[in-house]
Chains A and B, each alone.
Chain A
Amino acid sequence: MSAPLLAIEGLGVDFRTPRGRLRALRRIDLAVPAGAVVGVVGESGCGKSTLITAVIRLLAANAEVREGRIVFDGRDLLTLSEGAMRALRGDRMAMVFQDPMTTLNPVLTIGTQMIDIQYRLREGRDEKRRRAAAMLARVGIAEAERRLDQYPHEFSGGMRQRIGIAMALMAEPALLLADEPTTALDATLEVQVIHLLRALQRDFGCAILFVSHHLGVIAELCDRVVVMYAGEVVEEGSVRAVFRTPRHPYTERLIECDPARITRRTRTLPTIPGEIPDLVAPPPGCIFVERCHRAIARCREEAPVLRGAGHRTACHLVGP
């Protein structure tokens, strides 16, 4: 099997806060093969956004990569200079963000912004404009040529997200990083955007790292899924394997709690009792031990490691 397009090995990221060092990501291992769609799922605060922002190296100023490697195209991104990193952004890797209302510059036309990001190409403005219009049409924006001269506030939220996708894919990147692109959209729009992404991915053949907290979307779009909890990867495998036969207790409960699974009318929604532990001082044992319904004594003392082949789990109760 050829080397994956993106391989994250043992990544650890801290945030320096007034309260101390927040250990946001710990020992992250994940791989994205070329042309594959990998989903990262987990509840709010589990570190999925931090992970994806770390890949494109746009973390906040108080973030610090403590350890690990991010290997992309055979090179460790963490060792690259800022100039080399900038050369990759918008070219080999591109990103789609969560909030379409604030992602685009409000005082420049869509056309200007889409032409700006083609700055690397040695073509004339007209050619760039044609490409931009074609891309907009591709993501389903009618009258694309005319609408290039409009401003972001003249588009709805759903359309702005499509514009974001158009911008990201216009450079035909090898890797598309998607940070919860459908979270801010309502259900119908969400479905449309997912279908659009699927179609485009088939056409362009790019790999996608798709972050979301919505299990249904992950199931629909992704080939493989990574389950994260409180800064760690707890389970990883093909979507079929993980969703049909979850092994980690957290994954089990997560799937059980998905509202889409509810078949009978009920007054209360199922939840996982408890809260995420304080990441300034993570416990020595398993990170999920406080909320786990199957914890044993060993879980408090020793942190489990991600093991397995194909379908990996970090749990003492799951055999090798």
Chain B
Amino acid sequence: MFLYLVKRLGLGALIIVVAVVMLYGMIHAVPGDPASIILGPKATPELRAALHARMGLDDPFPVQVARFLANVLRGDLGTDVFSDRPVAEMVFDQLPHTLALIVTAIVWAMALGIPLGCYSALHRNTAIDRITGVLSVGCIAIPSFLVALYALLVFAVGLRWLPAIGAGEPGDLASQARHLVLPAFAVGLGWVGYIARLVRASMLETLGENHVRTARAFGLPERVVITRYVLRIAILPTITVIGIGIGYLLSSAVFIEVVFARPGIGKLIIDSVTTRNYPIVMGSVLVSTVLFVVSTTLSDLVNALLDPRIRSGL
């Protein structure tokens, strides 16, 4: 187990390093002076020269990358050229809002999706199974921002049950919760369907396996068979998918934050993209990528915990 842990963490760290190199390298891959790109349309020759000196843009590429990597490890993601604030500070200011959104979304998707998938697998081809199936596929197909738009129209604008803009008053948990409802619903809806289908398929496959037959042949109560013997194995692919799903959720968050004018990393990136403010974009993408790598590593480790076969033969 320990060896697997070390290997997996090592791989994760390596990927983050390569990602940093790629993101930084993209500036140089694009035709033009990197300083112009970073400064954007406001670049004057003096500003560009100053930036060259400050960022060491004349040094050979490997030196630049190494320096950037070292900075990143210290928590320095660069400085925003417009406001002179550290990028890291700006990004981490916005991160909690996005995290709240993602966590809420995935939790409600799991809370509804897993039991639904379970029920569908155990009651195959009944009315509920078929209806859930069609609805699931339907929900998966709808892009999250579309759901968000309709939710906005119906619940916020039409019925006025829920707020349409923002994240609520800081410090006021109730208000923040109310502002989370629609966005988390929009982000999570497709995932309810996806998780339900996945759990259903894994469970059906596991139910057909010989060891489940053995458990039944010893008269174990059906409840025990389903939870300890079937679900415990069937849940493994779902855990992997959720780990990867965080990446998709981060992407969805961008759209949702735009639709609901919610603060967060997504909104930060969009605003920065329109002003061609690459350092902030790069910092945000970097943080998101690290988040993604962490979540996939975590889900792999949870899987290894639950399935001893993974630990022994990496």
Direct interface between A and B, CB < 8 A: yes
Q: In the complex, are the beta carbons of B219 and A103 less than 8 A apart? A: no
Q: In the complex, are the beta carbons of B211 and A106 less than 8 A apart? A: yes
3 tightest A-B contacts by CB?
A90-B218, A89-B219, A90-B219
**A120–B218 CA distance with the chains assembled, in angstroms:** 11
Chain A residues with CB below 8 A from B216, complex form: 58, 89
- Which applies to chain B's interface (DSSP): helix, strand, loop or mixed? helix
Chain A residues with CB below 8 A from B67, complex form: none
Chain A residues with CB below 8 A from B232, complex form: 107-108
Within 8 A of A (CB), among B59-103: none
**A107–B211 CA distance with the chains assembled, in angstroms:** 11
11 CB contacts below 8 A, A to B, read A90-B217, A95-B214, A97-B213, A103-B214, A106-B307, A107-B233, A119-B224, A120-B219, A151-B309, A153-B312, A167-B218
Could you list 19 further interchain pairs (A-B, Cβ under 8 angstroms) beyond the known A58-B213, A151-B309? A86-B221, A89-B217, A89-B218, A90-B220, A97-B214, A102-B211, A104-B214, A105-B233, A106-B308, A106-B309, A107-B306, A107-B307, A107-B309, A108-B229, A116-B228, A119-B220, A119-B221, A153-B309, A154-B312
The distance from the CB of A151 to the nearest CB of chain B, in whole angstroms, is 5
Contacts A119-B220, A119-B224 given; does A105 touch B215 at CB 8 Å: yes
Number of interface residues of B (CB under 8 A): 22
Q: In the complex, are the beta carbons of A103 and B211 less than 8 A apart? A: yes
Q: In the complex, are the beta carbons of B312 and A94 less than 8 A apart? A: no
Chain B residues with CB below 8 A from A104, complex form: 211, 214
Does any Cβ of A come within 8 Å of B271's Cβ?
A: no
The distance from the CB of A114 to the nearest CB of chain B, in whole angstroms, is 10
Number of interface residues of A (CB under 8 A): 28
**A164–B217 CA distance with the chains assembled, in angstroms:** 12
Which residue of chain A has the shortest Cβ distance to B217 in the bound complex?
Answer: A95
Residues of chain A having any CB pair with chain B under 8 Å: 56, 58, 86-91, 94-95, 97, 99, 102-108, 116-117, 119-120, 151, 153-154, 164, 167
Q: In the complex, are the beta carbons of B218 and A94 less than 8 A apart? A: yes
Q: In the complex, are the beta carbons of A94 and B309 less than 8 A apart? A: no
Q: In the complex, are the beta carbons of A117 and B218 less than 8 A apart? A: yes
Does any Cβ of A come within 8 Å of B209's Cβ?
A: yes
The distance from the CB of B167 to the nearest CB of chain A, in whole angstroms, is 41
Which residue of chain B has the shortest Cβ distance to A102 in the bound complex?
Answer: B210
Within 8 A of A (CB), among B259-302: none
Chain A residues with CB below 8 A from B228, complex form: 108, 116
Chain A residues with CB below 8 A from B309, complex form: 106-107, 151, 153
Chain B residues with CB below 8 A from A106, complex form: 211, 233, 307-309
**A50–B243 CA distance with the chains assembled, in angstroms:** 43
**A167–B214 CA distance with the chains assembled, in angstroms:** 10
Within 8 A of A (CB), among B201-248: 209-211, 213-221, 224, 228-229, 232-233
Chain A residues with CB below 8 A from B213, complex form: 58, 97
Chain B residues with CB below 8 A from A116, complex form: 215, 218, 220, 224, 228
The distance from the CB of A85 to the nearest CB of chain B, in whole angstroms, is 8
Which residue of chain B has the shortest Cβ distance to A56 in the bound complex?
Answer: B217
**A151–B233 CA distance with the chains assembled, in angstroms:** 14
**A104–B217 CA distance with the chains assembled, in angstroms:** 12
The distance from the CB of B106 to the nearest CB of chain A, in whole angstroms, is 24
Which residue of chain B has the shortest Cβ distance to A95 in the bound complex?
Answer: B217
**A87–B218 CA distance with the chains assembled, in angstroms:** 9
The distance from the CB of B265 to the nearest CB of chain A, in whole angstroms, is 37
**A131–B156 CA distance with the chains assembled, in angstroms:** 64
Q: In the complex, are the beta carbons of B220 and A117 less than 8 A apart? A: yes
